[in-house]
A and B are shown apart, each in its own frame.
Chain A
Amino acid sequence: MKTRGFGPGAAFALLTVPAVVLYAAFFLVPVFIGFYYSLTDWDGFSLSYKMVGLKNYINILQDKRFLNAMSFTLLYTAIVVVFKLGIALILAMLLSQSLKLRGLFRSIYFFPAVLSMITVGMVFNQFFYSLFPPIGEALGIEWLSRNLLGNPDTAIYGVALTNIWQGFATPMVIFIAGLASVPKDLTEAALIDGATPVQRFFSVTLPFLIPMLTVNVVLAIKGGLTVFDYIVAMTGGGPSKSTESLGFLIYQHGMNEMKFGYGTAEAIYVFLLIGLVSFVQIKLLSRKEAGQQ
Chain B
Amino acid sequence: MRKSMVKGGIAALTGLSLVVAAGCSSGKSESANTGSASPEASQVKIEYFQMKPEGVDVVNELIQKFQESNPNILVEQNNVPNPENVWTMRVSTDDAPAVFTHYPHNSVFQKMAKEGQVVDLTNDPLMANVQPAIAELSKIDGKNYLVPVGLATLGVYYNKDLFESNNIALPTTTAELYAAAEKLQAAGITPFYFHDKEYNGIRQEVVFKMGQTLPDIEQFLDDVMNGKAHITDNAAFKPFAQSLLDIRQYGQKDMMGTSYDDALRDFATGKTAMWFTGIWAIQEIAKSNPDLNFAMFPFPTENAADLKTQVSVDTAIGIPTRGKNQAEAKKFIEFMTTKESVEKYLATAGYPSGIKDVQSGREEITSLTQLINDGKIYPTIERLWPPGLNAEVGKATQEMFITKDIGKYLDALDTIFYNVLNQ
Stretch at the interface among A159-167, A178-186, A251-259: A251-259
B262–A129 touching, CB < 8 Å: yes
Residue B112 at the chain A interface, CB threshold 8 Å: yes
The answer, among B89, B197, B388, B402, for a CB contact under 8 Å with A149, is B197
Among residues of A, the one whose C-beta sits closest to the C-beta of B392 is: A257
Docked pose: A128 CA to B197 CA in angstroms: 12
Docked pose: A125 CA to B261 CA in angstroms: 11
Q: Which residues of chain B from 382 to 407 have any CB-CB distance to chain A below 8 Å in the complex?
A: 387-388, 391, 395, 398-399, 402
Among residues of A, the one whose C-beta sits closest to the C-beta of B262 is: A129
Residue B259 at the chain A interface, CB threshold 8 Å: yes
A256–B259 touching, CB < 8 Å: no
Cβ of B10 to closest chain A Cβ, rounded Å:
13
* In the complex with contacts A129-B258, A146-B253, A45-B388 CB distance below 8 A: no
Stretch at the interface among A27-35, A86-94, A233-241: A233-241
Residue B92 at the chain A interface, CB threshold 8 Å: yes
Point out the residues of chain A lying under 8 angstroms from B387, CB to CB: 43, 257-258
Residue A152 at the chain B interface, CB threshold 8 Å: yes
Point out the residues of chain A lying under 8 angstroms from B256, CB to CB: 146-147, 150-151, 239
Q: Which of A128, A236, A238 has the most CB of B within 10 A?
A: A238
Docked pose: A44 CA to B199 CA in angstroms: 23
Residue A46 at the chain B interface, CB threshold 8 Å: yes
Residue B4 at the chain A interface, CB threshold 8 Å: no
Point out the residues of chain A lying under 8 angstroms from B254, CB to CB: 133, 146-147, 150
B398–A256 touching, CB < 8 Å: no
A45–B257 touching, CB < 8 Å: no
In terms of DSSP, what is the predominant structure of the interface of chain B?
helix
Docked pose: A146 CA to B254 CA in angstroms: 6
- State which size class the interface on B falls in: 20 to 34
Docked pose: A257 CA to B108 CA in angstroms: 10
A45–B92 touching, CB < 8 Å: yes
A238–B197 touching, CB < 8 Å: yes
Point out the residues of chain A lying under 8 angstroms from B388, CB to CB: 256-259
A239–B402 touching, CB < 8 Å: yes
Point out the residues of chain B lying under 8 angstroms from A258, CB to CB: 108, 387-388
A45–B111 touching, CB < 8 Å: yes
A256–B391 touching, CB < 8 Å: yes
In terms of DSSP, what is the predominant structure of the interface of chain A?
loop
Docked pose: A265 CA to B256 CA in angstroms: 32
Q: Which of A45, A129, A149 has the most CB of B within 10 A?
A: A45
Residue A276 at the chain B interface, CB threshold 8 Å: no
Among residues of A, the one whose C-beta sits closest to the C-beta of B85 is: A255
A45–B391 touching, CB < 8 Å: no
Residue A58 at the chain B interface, CB threshold 8 Å: no
Point out the residues of chain A lying under 8 angstroms from B253, CB to CB: 146
The answer, among A150, A241, A256, for a CB contact under 8 Å with B257, is A150
The answer, among A44, A130, A133, A239, for a CB contact under 8 Å with B197, is A239
Point out the residues of chain B lying under 8 angstroms from A259, CB to CB: 388
Binary contact track B356-383/A, C-beta < 8 Å → 1, others 0: 0000000000000000000000000000
Docked pose: A133 CA to B254 CA in angstroms: 10
Docked pose: A148 CA to B257 CA in angstroms: 7
Residue A47 at the chain B interface, CB threshold 8 Å: yes
The answer, among B115, B196, B199, B391, for a CB contact under 8 Å with A257, is B391
Docked pose: A128 CA to B399 CA in angstroms: 21
* In the complex with contacts A129-B259, A151-B256, A238-B199 CB distance below 8 A: yes
Residue A1 at the chain B interface, CB threshold 8 Å: yes
Cβ of B184 to closest chain A Cβ, rounded Å:
22
Cβ of A45 to closest chain B Cβ, rounded Å:
5
A47–B399 touching, CB < 8 Å: no
Q: Which residues of chain A from 108 to 141 have any CB-CB distance to chain B below 8 Å in the complex?
A: 125, 128-130, 133
Docked pose: A46 CA to B387 CA in angstroms: 12
Docked pose: A186 CA to B374 CA in angstroms: 89
Residue B198 at the chain A interface, CB threshold 8 Å: yes
Docked pose: A147 CA to B262 CA in angstroms: 12
Point out the residues of chain B lying under 8 angstroms from A125, CB to CB: 259
Residue B249 at the chain A interface, CB threshold 8 Å: no
B257–A128 touching, CB < 8 Å: yes
Cβ of B182 to closest chain A Cβ, rounded Å:
24
Residue B1 at the chain A interface, CB threshold 8 Å: yes
Among residues of B, the one whose C-beta sits closest to the C-beta of A125 is: B259
Listed in ascending order, the chain A residues whose CB lies under 8 Å from chain B are: 1, 43-47, 125, 128-130, 133, 146-152, 235-236, 238-241, 255-259
Listed in ascending order, the chain B residues whose CB lies under 8 Å from chain A are: 1, 85, 88-89, 91-92, 108, 111-112, 115, 196-199, 253-259, 262, 387-388, 391, 395, 398-399, 402
Which 10 pairs show the lowest CB-CB distances between chains A and B?
A147-B257, A150-B257, A150-B256, A240-B399, A257-B388, A258-B387, A146-B254, A45-B92, A45-B88, A240-B398
5 extra interface residue pairs, beta carbon distance < 8 Å, beyond A130-B262, A149-B197, A258-B387: A45-B88, A125-B259, A239-B256, A240-B399, A258-B108
